[in-house]
Amino acid sequence: MTSIGSPLVWGLFVLVVVAALAIDLGVFNREAHPVRTRDAAIWVAVWCCLGLAFNLFVWQRFGARKGLEFFQGWLLELALSADNVFVFLVILSYFKVGRDVQHKVLFWGIVGAVISRGAFIGVGAAAIHAFHWVLYLLGAFLVFTSIKLLAQEDKPVDPSRNLVLRLFRRLVPITPDYVGARFFARHEGRLMATPLLAVLVVVEAADVMFAVDSIPAIFGVTTDVFIVFTSNIFAVLGLRSLFFLVAGLAQKLVYLKYAISAILAFIGIKIMAQPFLEIPVVISLGVVMGLLALATAVSLLFAPKRG
């Protein structure tokens, strides 16, 4: 398993991420308030610019191939995150989370996602390093996931059936009502979790399930653990702002799942074909961008009208 990240480069990445998160939560969103579309658009632009600036840094320091790998991984994770946006919308609507505290739930949800995905990537990298054949197993898993995605029906998500939520409710005492933006509060003399913490637990559980698909996919782009981690995290960090900007648009991209299915199948086949055929990263990137652009255009132009 390779990695271009020296301690200095890893430190730069951590510094950028921590500084941006601190400014986001500690300066601009210290108090709970509804996130306006304008503010969401600004933060989407900020995270995209940070990701692309880091991409430029990787390109200049480590060459065009690593730069293209980073961009493809970043773009792929953004595409796979489209489902996250819709599921987050369903979860927040189901629990009737107020618009003024949605930002806090998603912020800490994203922080948890950074930690959990780091663990996933670490385990995956160690497994591939120890047993190279695991990479081909991931390729087969992506093809299977692609077929499963096409075959599954578009059923509404029901957060009440979430196993993690049921276990949480059984094991942890919860206050009857929300207590502002707090995750814990005293009720009848006892320190208890609030329903907002239950919402956060469901959001985290949903992201873990999405990571099961996205992490193998990004290992299909590159096995450089630094590129895998940084491109994935930069995409995930912008997800919260993206939610407030395009929650409505995400539901209009009805054909996006077909593009995602095709991308997962393409990457899976690419992994399994590596011993016989190496697909240049430029071609791989072109396939991913082309499929996403096609699905977006077809969805916006020819999506069936809802009665």
The whole-angstrom separation of Cα 193 and Cα 200 is 11
Evaluate whether residue 2 is within a structural domain.
no
Q: Report how many domains make up the chain.
A: 1
**What is the domain range of residue 58?**
7-302
Evaluate whether residue 307 is within a structural domain.
no
The whole-angstrom separation of Cα 199 and Cα 95 is 7
Residue 117 vs residues 20, 180, 203, 269: alpha-carbon distances, Å: 19, 29, 14, 24
Residue 245 vs residues 14, 114, 264: alpha-carbon distances, Å: 26, 21, 26
What angle is formed at CA 300 by the lines to CA 298 and CA 302, rounded to 5 degrees? 55
Residue 122 tokens read as 């670490």
Within the chain, residue ranges assigned H as helices are: 7-23, 37-62, 64-94, 102-130, 133-151, 163-171, 195-219, 225-237, 239-250, 256-272, 281-302
Q: Could you say which residues of the chain have pLDDT below 50?
A: 307
Evaluate whether residue 214 is within a structural domain.
yes
pLDDT, residue 55, reads 92
Dihedral sign (CA 180, 208, 253, 90): negative
Evaluate whether residue 1 is within a structural domain.
no
pLDDT tens digits along 128-169: 778 778 888 888 888 888 888 787 766 666 677 778 888 998
Evaluate whether residue 19 is within a structural domain.
yes
pLDDT, residue 307, reads 46
Evaluate whether residue 212 is within a structural domain.
yes
The whole-angstrom separation of Cα 64 and Cα 61 is 9
Evaluate whether residue 171 is within a structural domain.
yes
Quick one: which H or E segment has residue 192?
strand 190-193
Evaluate whether residue 288 is within a structural domain.
yes
SS3 133: helix
Phi, psi torsion values for 184, nearest 5 degrees = -135, 145
